[in-house]
Structure 1
Amino acid sequence: MSQSSRPNSPDDQTAMYIRVKRNKITYFVTCVPSETILQIKEKLQELIDQPVNDQRLILMPNREVLDDSKSLADQKVENDAVVALTLRKDDNEFEDVNITRPTDYSPSPDGGSNW
């Protein structure tokens, strides 16, 4: 039996994507489960022109900060996962997670504001 005709195993690297969100922007990043968080940050660096050391990725909704040296699979990041991107500020601290949801701006049923 040849290698190419064997059935797919769970170890096969199936392409997936994650949604990386920051403010009102969502980046759809194509990846495989064995990629490390550092590799994802390198892809983001090309998109947002921010060094990998100034990026922090946080798995939502539990707000778990993802470890650069671990793979997506190691940290249970699944296909279509939502990951928040925060950037390092001038004071060397990371900004707070700021993800805008479409419902944040929906008018109230009576046509007035949400206030």
Structure 2
Amino acid sequence: MAMFIRVKRKKTTYFLHCEPSDTTLEIKSKLQVLTDQDVDAQRLILVSNQLVLEDARTLAEQRVDNDAVVALTFKKDSGEWEDIDIEKPDDRTGAADLEGS
């Protein structure tokens, strides 16, 4: 059964088509093409429960559901991982413009 996940980092969201049987490493390989970051320099975290996804385990084994939001962090030069950084959309456009009408 096909599914998709939303992988977020800063202001960027990647919509990835995947299968529950895909491993985290396979997802990282897809992201490597998009981000130009080696799979070893990527960490994926399921936002709903802060679970760091393990490379060898499948999405189904780690309870990653369809339309799940997954945070992407990169390894810093120091060897430490970045903190999760997902920016919300800018609320200043749209609704505020309607008030003046």
Assess same fold via TM > 0.5: yes
The alignment-based identity, stated in percent, is 58
In the alignment, does 2:20 pair up with 1:20? no
Identify the match of residue 63 of structure 2 among 65, 69, 76: 76
SS at match of 1:42: helix
Q: TM-score, normalised by structure 2?
A: 0.88
Counterpart in the other structure of 1:30: 17
In structure 2, stretches of 5+ residues that fail to align are 93-101
State the structure with more CA Rg: 1
The one of the two structures with greater contact order (alpha-carbon pairs below 8 A, sep at least 6) is 2
- Code of the aligned partner of 1:52: V
2:26 to 39, 49, 53: 39
Distance 1:17 1:72 in 2: 11
Unpaired runs of at least 5, structure 1: 1-13, 108-115
1:30-65 CA-to-partner distances (Å, cap 9, x unmatched) read 100000000000000011100000000000122110
Work out whether 1:106 is the aligned partner of 2:91.
yes
- The counterpart of 2:80, out of the listed 93, 99, 114, is 93
The reply on whether 1:61 has 2:48 as its aligned counterpart is yes
> Normalization by structure 1: what TM-score?
0.78
In the alignment, what sits opposite 1:9? none
Distance in 1, matches of 2:10 and 2:22, equals 25
RMSD: 1.5
| Structure 1 range deviating more: 78-87 or 58-67 | 58-67
- Which consecutive aligned stretches of 4+ in structure 1 deviate over 3 angstroms post-superposition? none
